């Protein structure tokens, strides 16, 4: 069921025909409570064991195996919620509920990251200014707190573009104007803040080339778990650099499990409040 749910998410994101109802109606499809418990059991006793730390962990085959196994456990929980969120978004304004946005990945290579649309004018080119972004839709306000809008990234992890835990990905204009040949000005509502210009040459090199660009970007990170409490300004990017560099040297399976459990608890509380209870899925 886990693999079927992963591929169903991929089909949903790419508007491919799939009988999601068939999956939901099978006796083998778990309830929300069963799915949540399966995730908790996985995080408390993962099937992958590894003592590596730092870059040895980030670049290890064990981490890749961990990602694939966790995708299979999370997909049955996220699939019905993603389907419901997509329906609500389409009903609100008739626009496509999902889009892809170019992000900077391993080696500085650009890849198309999948996201649920939470803003009215999203075309996938620019960053958000945070939860208070004036472009956020009503449905976007619902799917943001429980990270439903990030659920499509399970597919990006499954495909190998991302990992569950590492530095959160950035759009090119947030990293460097020169590296990615960006000349056009920011649009209204976007922040004109760039890591290379804020950090300076040496610090930027240490953060980007000695860390960020060496690994797949993550869905969860130490900075990501605290960023919602920080105003998105110059200090926001400096704090990101500080926590990213610390994580590059100390990351390990144990720390990743702690980060994932913290994110899971936050997401489940929001899911219960917004979707699972009202939909009778709790």
Whole-angstrom distance, CA of residue 159 vs CA of residue 99 = 17
- Is there a contact between 195 and 207 (Cβ–Cβ < 8 Å)? yes
The reported pLDDT for the residue numbered 224 is 85
Whole-angstrom distance, CA of residue 196 vs CA of residue 208 = 9
- The residues, ordered by sequence, that sit 6+ positions from 189 with a Cβ below 8 Å of its Cβ are 129, 133, 134, 135
Burial class for 128, CB neighbours closer than 10 Å (0-12, 13-18, 19+): buried
Q: Per-domain residue ranges for the chain?
A: 2-276
- Is there a contact between 6 and 157 (Cβ–Cβ < 8 Å)? no
| Owner of token pair 């530095």 | 167
pTM: 0.87
Copy the structure tokens of residue 139. 């449905």
Give me the mean pLDDT over the 245-261 stretch: 97
- pLDDT of 106 above 80: yes
Q: Out of 24-33, 61-70, 135-144, 235-244, pick the least confident.
A: 135-144
- pLDDT of 207 above 90: yes
pLDDT digits (tens, 9 = 90+) for 119-154: 666 554 455 555 556 666 766 655 555 577 888 899
Residue 203 in 3-state DSSP? Answer: helix
Per the model's pLDDT, the better-predicted residue between 133 and 71 turns out to be: 71
pLDDT digits (tens, 9 = 90+) for 45-55: 999 999 999 99
pLDDT digits (tens, 9 = 90+) for 155-196: 999 999 999 999 999 999 999 999 999 988 877 667 789 999
> Which runs of E-coded beta strand occur in 119-265?
163-165, 218-220
The reported pLDDT for the residue numbered 124 is 45
| Owner of token pair 């399970």 | 154
- pLDDT of 76 above 80: yes
How confident is residue 38, by pLDDT bands cut at 50, 70 and 90?
Answer: very high
Run of H or E including 99: strand 98-104
How confident is residue 42, by pLDDT bands cut at 50, 70 and 90?
Answer: very high
Q: Which of 6-10, 94-98, 215-219, 269-273 shows the highest mean pLDDT?
A: 215-219
User: Which among 183, 171, 187, 168 is positioned nearest to 243, based on CA atoms?
Assistant: 168
Copy the structure tokens of residue 124. 């996938």
pLDDT digits (tens, 9 = 90+) for 3-37: 988 988 888 888 775 555 566 555 567 887 888 89
- The residues, ordered by sequence, that sit 6+ positions from 135 with a Cβ below 8 Å of its Cβ are 119, 120, 121, 122, 128, 189
- Is there a contact between 149 and 116 (Cβ–Cβ < 8 Å)? yes
Taking CA atoms, 60 is separated from 30, 65, 103, in Å, by 31, 9, 22
Rounded to the nearest 10 degrees, how much is the dihedral formed by the CA atoms of 207, 155, 153, 54?
-30
């Amino acid at each position: 069921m886990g693999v079927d749910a992963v591929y169903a998410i991929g089909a949903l994101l790419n508007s491919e025909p799939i009988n999601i109802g068939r999956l939901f109606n099978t006796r083998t499809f778990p309830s929300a409570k069963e799915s949540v418990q399966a995730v908790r059991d996985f995080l408390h006793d993962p099937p992958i064991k590894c003592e590596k730390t730092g870059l040895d962990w980030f670049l290890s085959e064990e981490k890749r195996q961990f990602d694939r196994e966790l995708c299979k456990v999370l997909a049955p929980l996220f699939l019905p919620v993603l389907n419901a969120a997509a329906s609500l978004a389409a009903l609100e304004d008739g626009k496509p509920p999902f889009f892809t946005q170019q992000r900077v990945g391993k080696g500085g290579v650009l890849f198309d990251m999948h996201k649920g649309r939470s803003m009215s004018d999203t075309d996938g080119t620019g960053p958000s200014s945070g939860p208070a972004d004036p472009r956020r839709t009503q449905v976007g306000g619902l799917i943001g707190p429980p990270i439903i809008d990030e659920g499509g990234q399970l597919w990006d992890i499954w495909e190998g573009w991302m990992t569950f835990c590492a530095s959160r990905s950035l759009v090119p204009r947030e990293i460097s104007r020169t590296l990615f040949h960006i000349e056009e000005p920011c649009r209204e509502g976007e922040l004109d803040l760039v890591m290379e210009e804020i950090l300076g040459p040496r610090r930027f090199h240490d953060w980007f080339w000695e860390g960020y660009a060496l690994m797949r970007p993550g869905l969860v990170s130490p900075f990501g778990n605290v960023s919602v409490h920080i105003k998105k300004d110059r200090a926001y990017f400096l704090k990101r650099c500080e926590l990213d560099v610390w994580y590059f040297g100390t990351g390990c399976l144990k720390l990743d499990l702690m980060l994932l459990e913290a994110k899971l608890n936050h997401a489940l509380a929001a899911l219960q409040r917004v979707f699972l209870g009202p939909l009778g899925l709790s």
